[in-house]
Amino acid sequence: MRLDKFLKVSRLIKRRTVANDICDSARVFVNKNPAKPAKQLKAGDIISIEYKNSTKNYRVLVIPNTNVSANSASELYEETDIVE
């Protein structure tokens, strides 16, 4: 699944266009490398998102085939403090 679509489906970012903009501005990293919106994700990847005052790191647990409900969206990733 594409990075921008995963960010939207997992509800880490509300809209896919916003996810595209953030990726294009080099504020999203996958496994410590700057990532384009079309980057293909796999389970185990570490996504780092730079916000204004902080950086959040997430480990991808599951790549969904379709959209998921709001209740199960948080099961797609786990927040982590350490970037491997």
With residue 51 as reference, give the H or E element that holds it: none
CATH of the domain at 46: 3.10.290.10
Domain count, the chain: 1
Q: Which residues pair with 55 in a beta bridge?
A: 50
Distance, in Å, from the CA atom of 48 to the CA atom of 15, rounded to the nearest integer, reads: 17
pLDDT score at 57: 96
At 17, the amino acid letter reads: T
> Which range of residues forms the domain containing residue 10?
3-80
pLDDT score at 66: 86
DSSP string, 33-63: EE--TTPBP-TT-EEEEE-SS-EEEEEE---
pLDDT score at 84: 53
Helices (H) and strands (E) in the chain, counts: 3, 5
pLDDT score at 10: 94
As a residue count, the chain comes to 84
Question: pLDDT digit of tens for each residue in the chain (84 aa)?
Answer: 999 999 999 999 999 999 999 999 999 999 999 999 999 999 999 999 998 899 999 999 999 988 889 888 989 999 998 655
pLDDT score at 81: 83
